[in-house]
């Protein structure tokens, strides 16, 4: 049995990430093995979770992988852990579109996990009790095990909130004072990833661990986590270990920080030796690779540096093996990004825009590619403030109200982020396509 907690909130901005990450770090300081998880398709929060715990941050998203895989993926990630902490997304009951599907509440039910509600008390006092009562009674399938009050202004403010909540029957498990020491900088797609500010992030992590340890009842939180029942599920596995049959280069570094941990595990299980490379600093691809995977991130922030690395851009342009690119990878393969030369694998221009494109996509592949087959359905997610021109005249994917993606015999490139655990055939297809080409 895995002890577990879901950290939720009434809305975004209440302090879920601060509390969840601080709790992870505080428990890890005690010598506990803490398994970090994030509800939804977020890539940035898990980077801080990994820093806090020393274990990969893993996502739990029923939309991307299906309800039936949430508990197995959770158990896979939590193997050997003393406790798992799951950070929610948006408000507790906010799901895909107008539904509760893929919400924090949905995942909490699938995991049978007690929920701790983080409430921003900065501009209220007794009203927190009415708010918490509403969240506790809205769906009785959710077990609201406690409340952590955030942004408390004074001892008097805390006392009033605690007194009001005592009447609600929901225990207060922490009261956190306002603090600038734990602020995390943001930009156009949310928080700045931990990999881009490692020194500052380590200092902030220490501060938030101190804050949570001093402000929350860790023993009571542990007791609550241990009340979670056994999960009637079998841990997910990427498959039995396979002897490597090919090398695949996977982009990383500060410009390409978006990716799901299970992708590399599936590639390895399919017979790939996964080799990281950093397009910001590495002037050549890793030796002997037959395929390239370029995930998401912030190439628009590092466009000048990526463009200046001409030797690597030329090598990627000349590469004749399969390439899988998502979002940031798509931009890197363009001729230019905001006027700066990129790899030129795709005959498109990319630029920043003022429009945020965000949302789940129920997509159908309408062309074959090294990954997809015509007619197959995929559930993905878009998250960007860029655009490419010209748009594909024969897109790879179509969905209600939209289309996207470029494909030929060796390249699959799209804005669509896919969780490969939900479509494990992607890894085996890509490895097989790579195996058939000569090594670089």
Cβ(54)–Cβ(126) under 8 Å?
no
Q: CB atoms < 10 A from the CB of 147, how many? A: 28
Residues in CB range of 220: below 8 A, 6 or more apart: 146, 171, 173
Residues in CB range of 28: below 8 A, 6 or more apart: 34, 52, 53, 54
Distance between start and end Cα atoms, the chain? 46
Residues in CB range of 328: below 8 A, 6 or more apart: 255, 256, 258, 294, 295, 296, 297, 298, 299
Out of 161, 216, 327, 434, which one is annotated catalytic? 327
Instruction: Reply yes or no on whether 161 is catalytic.
Output: no
Q: Return the exposure string of 260-298: e unless at least 16 CB atoms fall within 10 Å of the residue's CB, then b.
A: bbbbbbbbbbbbbbbeebebbebeebbeebbbbbbbbbb
175, β-bridge pairs: 149
Q: Apex CA 44: angle with CA 71 and CA 314, to 5°?
A: 115
Q: CB atoms < 10 A from the CB of 401, how many? A: 6
Q: Which residues are catalytic?
A: 327
């Amino acid at each position: 049995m895995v002890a577990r907690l879901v950290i939720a909130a009434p809305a975004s901005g209440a302090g879920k990430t601060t509390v969840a990450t601080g709790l992870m770090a505080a428990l890890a300081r005690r010598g506990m093995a803490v398994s970090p998880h994030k509800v939804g398709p977020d890539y940035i929060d898990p980077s801080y979770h990994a820093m806090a715990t020393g274990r990969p941050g893993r996502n739990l998203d029923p939309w991307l992988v299906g309800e039936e895989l949430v508990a197995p993926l959770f158990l896979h990630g939590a193997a050997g852990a003393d406790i798992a902490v799951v950070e929610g997304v948006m408000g507790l009951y906010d799901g895909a579109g107008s539904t509760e599907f893929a919400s924090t509440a949905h995942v909490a039910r699938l995991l049978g996990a007690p929920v701790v509600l983080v409430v921003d008390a900065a501009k209220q006092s007794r009203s927190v009790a009415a708010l918490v009562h509403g969240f506790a009674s809205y769906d009785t399938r959710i077990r609201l095990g406690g409340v952590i009050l955030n942004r408390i202004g004074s001892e008097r403010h805390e006392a009033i909130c605690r007194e009001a909540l005592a009447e609600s029957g929901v225990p207060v498990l922490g009261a956190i004072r306002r603090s600038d020491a734990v602020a995390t900088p943001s930009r156009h797609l949310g928080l700045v990833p931990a990999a881009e500010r490692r020194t500052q992030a380590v200092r902030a992590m220490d501060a938030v661990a101190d804050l949570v340890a001093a402000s929350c009842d860790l023993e009571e939180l542990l007791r609550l986590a241990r009340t979670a029942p056994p999960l009637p599920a079998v841990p997910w596995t990427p498959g039995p270990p396979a002897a490597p049959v090919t090398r695949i280069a996977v982009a990383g570094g500060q410009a390409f920080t978006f990716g799901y941990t299970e992708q590399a595990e599936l590639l390895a299980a399919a017979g790939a030796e996964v080799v990281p490379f950093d397009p910001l600093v590495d002037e050549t691809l890793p030796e002997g690779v037959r395929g390239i995977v370029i995930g998401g991130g912030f190439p628009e922030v590092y466009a000048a540096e990526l463009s200046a690395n001409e030797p690597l851009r030329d090598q990627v342009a000349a590469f004749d093996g399969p390439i899988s690119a998502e979002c940031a990878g798509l931009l890197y393969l363009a001729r230019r990004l905001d006027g700066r030369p990129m790899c030129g694998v795709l005959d498109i221009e990319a630029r920043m825009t003022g429009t945020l494109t965000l949302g789940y996509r129920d997509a159908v592949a309408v062309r074959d590619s090294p990954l997809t087959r015509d007619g197959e359905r995929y559930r993905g997610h878009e998250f960007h403030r860029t655009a490419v021109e010209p748009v594909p005249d024969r897109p790879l994917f179509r969905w209600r109200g939209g289309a996207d993606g470029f494909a030929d015999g060796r390249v699959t490139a799209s804005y669509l982020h896919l969780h490969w655990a939900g479509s494990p055939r992607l890894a085996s297809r890509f490895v097989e396509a790579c195996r058939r080409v000569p090594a670089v």
